[in-house]
Amino acid sequence: MARLLRWLALLVLLALAGAAAGVWGGLIVVPARYDPWARLDLRAEPDWLTGFKLSRLEREPEQCRAALGETGLRFTALPDRDSDENCALRGVVRVARSDVAFSSGFIATCGLAAAWTLFEANALQPAAERHFGQTVARVEHLGTYACRNVYGRTSGRRSEHATANAIDLAAFVLADGTRVGVLGDWDAKGGSGGDGRKAAFLRDVRDGACRFFDVVLGPDYNEAHRNHFHLDMGAFSTCR
């Protein structure tokens, strides 16, 4: 019996490997949505392959820019820039706006910009609709690119901000002008003012960001993040 099971397992493995090779080699045609090697469609509903495809886009700037070009993001591609200080810019874009306006345009790695489009459409705006019945019109950020170490220390490793691979979000302004700020509203309690909604919205935004960014740090993490959400596409994986 055990022997039979081993054979069956081997057969299944061979079939899976054959199918994978067939898809990769183009012998088996599957819809782009189910093809792990197809370019990510940033407008499509995220699924179990989205994270894998997004990590490929991060390594393929040209493919990434093509994918960004299919979205509503307004951006321009920037030339690579070397740096003697480990602050090189590779495959970066300058983002002017998306469906939301930003407090200022910013430089971002294409992977960060791609993650943003997924986050905005599938986490940020749905959260605003759920909690307030309207959309976010404007996002206030504290910047993306800064040639510095983590926490601005004089030694230690470079921050993801040093390569424009991180963005710090401070506040969200709804279509009706209501402002929800991380600093003032994270700990807001419910009551007649309804500020509890803002706190619940911010937690939803933080949790939603964790679906698309590699690292998400907010006020729950430490004092340094009491006034913003740090989102980055670096090598680590954290959601706090």
* Binding piece for Zn ion, criterion CB under 5 A, among 36-44, 87-95, 123-131, 159-167: 159-167
Residue 70: both structure tokens together: 């299919």
Minimum distance from residue 190 beta carbon to Zn ion (Å): 29
Using Cβ positions, the residue closest to Zn ion within the complex turns out to be 230
**Residue closer to Zn ion (CB basis): 166 or 205:** 166
The end-to-end CA distance of the chain, in Å, is 48
Write the single-letter amino acid at 26.
Answer: G
* Binding piece for Zn ion, criterion CB under 5 A, among 29-37, 183-191, 208-216, 223-231: 223-231
b/e per residue 139-153 (b: at least 16 CB within 10 A): bbbbbbbebebeeee
d(CA 108, CA 90): 10
214 lines the binding site for Zn ion (CB under 5 A): no
- 96 close to 75: Cβ distance less than 8 angstroms: yes
206 lines the binding site for Zn ion (CB under 5 A): no
Minimum distance from residue 70 beta carbon to Zn ion (Å): 28
Q: Which of 131, 198, 206, 230 is the binder for Zn ion (CB under 5 A)?
A: 230
- 65 close to 79: Cβ distance less than 8 angstroms: no
Q: CA-based Rg of the chain, rounded to a whole angstrom?
A: 21
| Tally of CB atoms within 10 A around 226 | 14
Angle made by CA atoms 111, 140, 61, in degrees to the nearest 5 = 15
Minimum distance from residue 181 beta carbon to Zn ion (Å): 16
65 lines the binding site for Zn ion (CB under 5 A): no
At which residue do the structure tokens 């019945």 appear?
A: 133
Binding mask 160-199 vs Zn ion (x if CB under 5 A, - otherwise)?
A: ------x-x-------------------------------
131 lines the binding site for Zn ion (CB under 5 A): no
Residues binding Zn ion: number (CB under 5 A): 3
**Residue closer to Zn ion (CB basis): 206 or 230:** 230
Contacts with Zn ion by CB under 5 A lie at 166, 168, 230
